[in-house]
């Protein structure tokens, strides 16, 4: 048994294949089959990896079970890898739980020609919304208006913002993808959003991580069947909307991304191209990708912002003073960002400290590469450790504190910081970055203009917990806040 385990370990860990081709990145000694699992906190793997980077340097190897992973840490190293070696480090590693569902389609987890066709298509449609940037801004403002009304309805009583934020942000994706929004009371819509978010949490759970490492052993883990059920539900609902849009399509009047996709598909077919990547399966996965990647991320970041404001009331005072002085009671516009340097710094600092996607998404090398003197074989899984950049001690004065001055100069002007990398960088940089930045600005500023955020009665600011909840993204732990109307 020992001999077999050792053989599996040697073959799966690629130890043989790298011999003779250069130094392999160092790392803790792995056990057969288990790799370094016993050393890794599966609930917060990014913390362990951060600690290991202090010991083994900015390029190191760990074994997650039999899976060899090269971890990249620190601003300089990530910048060099993701930008200067964009091609070599630019493929995606599709984790098993996703592979069985998406099979290389869509944008988030795809590679090769399909990704090269789908990414620009999705990007153009996100950016332009089919109608231009201003229309996108107007949609965000409109959606934020609905949210404000619902917040007002709580009359300053404590409530959990999670679902409402998710519905509101998800509605922006609905407008982009379907061309229409839903009422927050629509039960089908609520179900779709709630289930999508449950899935995002489940995908990051320790049991699914175990499944991803040992799919052949851990087939029956509890959360896997729930993910499959959610996938089936979401697919069915999306298909119903898709079929309706297909039947009512008017190529002269694109309502959203689905219409644009169908029009492109038809025009390719009309020119005799029948084997393009513009097929229904790809479209269904893109839709899911945009909801998964574009809802919880933005909603969670806004929620971190509100929680931080309740925890640090003096910073909230400064934000509100600036908003009232510069904007007054009129509607905030994207244009206002440059006149609101403190508010902008608070939003950036929220994203930095919240660090919601701490390990980016797993990358994979597209070819053999020698990087910083280390040989990394083609097909190696790579984790760009974004935490190590957002908390890099050589880049940030107070990496572990909430310190908006990180983004301000001595005159209080906003300063861009290169090590601000919550959207990652390079070829696989977040596709929704510019949309997300617009959303964060409009939502955060409008909410702070209209409400004072405080802890519930009987809870002190100190008691508000900033420990993130475990999931695929880092969420605030469950909490309630009061949104006391200001106008």
Q: How far is the CB of 61 from ligand HEM (least distance, A)?
A: 19
**Residue with nearest beta carbon to ligand HEM:** 432
Q: Residue 384 forms beta bridges with which residues? A: 72
Tokens standing for residue 312: 């640090």
CA distances from 260 to 18, 128, 245, 265, 430 (A): 46, 12, 11, 9, 21
Which residues make up the interface to ligand HEM (CB under 6 A)? 92, 107-108, 119, 126, 173, 289-290, 293-294, 297-298, 301, 356-357, 360-361, 384, 422-424, 428-432, 435-436
Residue 155, classified by CB atoms within 10 Å of its CB into exposed (0-12), middle (13-18) or buried (19+), is: exposed
Edge-to-edge strand list for the sheet holding 451-454 = 158-159, 481-485, 451-454
- Spatial separation of the C-alpha atoms in residues 402 and 354, rounded to whole Å: 9
Q: Which is nearer to ligand HEM, 200 or 254 (CB)?
A: 200
8 Å CB contact between 180 and 174:
yes
Sheet holding 91-92, edge to edge: 59-64, 67-72, 381-384, 363-364, 91-92
CB nearer ligand HEM, residue 92 or residue 348: 92
Least separation in angstroms between residue 115's CB and ligand HEM is 6
CA distance 400 to 391: 7
Q: Which is nearer to ligand HEM, 214 or 423 (CB)?
A: 423
Chain centroid offset of residue 330 CA = 31
User: What does residue 278 show for φ and ψ, rounded to 5 degrees?
Assistant: -85, 75
CB nearer to ligand HEM: give 92 or 479. Answer: 92
Q: How far is the CB of 430 from ligand HEM (least distance, A)?
A: 3
Q: Is the Cβ of residue 327 or residue 361 nearer to ligand HEM in the bound state?
A: 361
Q: Measured between alpha carbons, how far is 87 from 428 in angstroms, rounded to an integer?
A: 10
| CB 426 to ligand HEM: min, Å | 7
Q: Quote the least distance from Cβ 329 to ligand HEM, whole Å.
A: 27
Q: Shortest distance, CB of residue 429 to ligand HEM, whole angstroms?
A: 6
Which residues partner with 469 through β-bridges?
Answer: 475
| Neighbour-count burial of 380, counting CB atoms closer than 10 A to its CB (0-12 exposed, 13-18 middle, 19+ buried) | buried
430 labeled part of a ligand binding site: yes
Compute CA distances 413 → 257, 310, 333, 341, 344, whole Å: 38, 24, 19, 6, 10
Q: How far is the CB of 147 from ligand HEM (least distance, A)?
A: 16
Give least dist CB 448 to ligand HEM, A.
17
CA distance 101 to 113: 19
Nearer to ligand HEM, 221 or 442 (CB): 442
| Residue 62 or 126 having the CB closest to ligand HEM | 126
Residue 109's alpha-carbon distances to 177, 201, 290, 299, 437, in angstroms, are 19, 17, 12, 22, 22
For residues 374 and 89, the answer to whether their CB atoms sit within 8 Å is no
- Cβ closest to ligand HEM, residue 354 vs residue 482: 354
Q: What angle do CA 271, 276, 279 make, to 5 degrees?
A: 110
Q: How far is the CB of 376 from ligand HEM (least distance, A)?
A: 16
Cα–Cα distance, 346 to 258 (Å, whole number):
36
Select 52 or 361, whichever has its Cβ closest to ligand HEM: 361
Q: Where are the beta strands (DSSP E) in 327-368?
A: 363-364
Q: Which is nearer to ligand HEM, 107 or 221 (CB)?
A: 107
Q: Where are the beta strands (DSSP E) in 36-128?
A: 59-64, 67-72, 91-92
Give whichever of 168 and 301 is closer to ligand HEM, judged by the CB atom: 301
Least separation in angstroms between CB 390 and ligand HEM: 10
Nearest CA-CA partner of 177 in 283, 272, 277, 251: 283
* CB 123 to ligand HEM: min, Å: 9
Residues contributing to the annotated binding site: 430
Binding residues for heme: 430
């Amino acid at each position: 048994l020992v001999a077999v385990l050792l053989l599996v370990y040697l073959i799966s860990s690629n130890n043989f294949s790298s011999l003779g081709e250069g130094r392999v990145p160092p790392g803790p000694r792995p056990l057969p089959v288990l790799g370094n699992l016993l050393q890794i906190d599966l609930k917060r793997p990014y913390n362990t990896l951060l600690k290991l980077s202090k010991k083994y340097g900015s390029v190191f190897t760990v074994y997650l079970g039999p899976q060899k992973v090269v971890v990249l840490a620190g601003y300089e190293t990530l910048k060099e890898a993701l930008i200067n070696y964009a091609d070599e480090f630019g493929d995606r590693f599709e984790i098993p739980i996703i592979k069985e569902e998406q099979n290389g389609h869509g944008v988030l987890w795809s590679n090769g020609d399909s990704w090269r066709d789908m990414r620009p298509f999705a990007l153009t449609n996100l950016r332009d919304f089919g109608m231009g940037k201003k229309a996108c801004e107007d949609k965000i403002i409109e959606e934020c208006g609905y949210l404000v009304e619902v917040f007002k309805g709580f009359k300053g009583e404590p409530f959990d913002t999670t679902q409402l934020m998710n519905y509101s942000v998800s509605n922006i994706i609905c407008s982009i993808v379907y061309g229409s929004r839903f009422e927050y009371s629509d039960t089908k819509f609520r179900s779709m959003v709630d289930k999508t978010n449950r899935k995002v949490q489940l995908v990051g759970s320790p049991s699914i991580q175990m499944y991803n490492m040992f799919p052949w052993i851990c087939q029956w883990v509890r959360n896997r069947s729930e993910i499959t059920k959610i996938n089936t539900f979401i697919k069915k609902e999306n298909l119903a909307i898709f079929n309706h849009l297909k039947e009512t399509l008017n190529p002269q009047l694109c309502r959203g991304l689905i219409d644009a996709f169908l029009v492109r598909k038809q025009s390719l077919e009309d020119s005799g191209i029948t084997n393009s990547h513009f097929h229904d399966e790809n479209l269904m996965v893109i839709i899911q990708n945009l909801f998964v990647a574009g809802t919880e991320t933005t909603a969670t970041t806004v929620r971190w912002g509100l929680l931080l404001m309740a925890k640090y009331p003096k910073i909230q005072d400064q934000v509100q003073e600036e908003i009232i002085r510069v904007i007054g009671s009129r509607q905030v516009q994207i244009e206002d960002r440059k006149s609101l340097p403190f508010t902008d710094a608070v939003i950036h600092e929220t994203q930095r400290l919240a660090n919601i996607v701490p390990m980016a998404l797993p990358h994979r090398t597209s070819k053999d590469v020698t990087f910083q003197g280390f040989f990394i074989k083609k097909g190696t899984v790579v984790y760009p450790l974004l935490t190590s950049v957002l908390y890099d001690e050589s880049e940030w004065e107070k990496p572990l504190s909430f310190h908006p001055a990180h983004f301000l100069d001595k005159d209080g002007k906003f300063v861009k910081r290169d090590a601000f990398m919550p959207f990652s960088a390079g070829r696989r940089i977040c596709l929704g970055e510019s949309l997300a930045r617009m959303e964060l600005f409009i939502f955060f500023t409008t909410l702070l203009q209209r409400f004072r955020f405080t802890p519930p009665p009987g809870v002190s600011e100190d008691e508000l917990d900033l420990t993130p909840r475990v999931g695929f993204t880092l969420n605030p732990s469950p909490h309630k806040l009061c949104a006391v109307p200001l106008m």
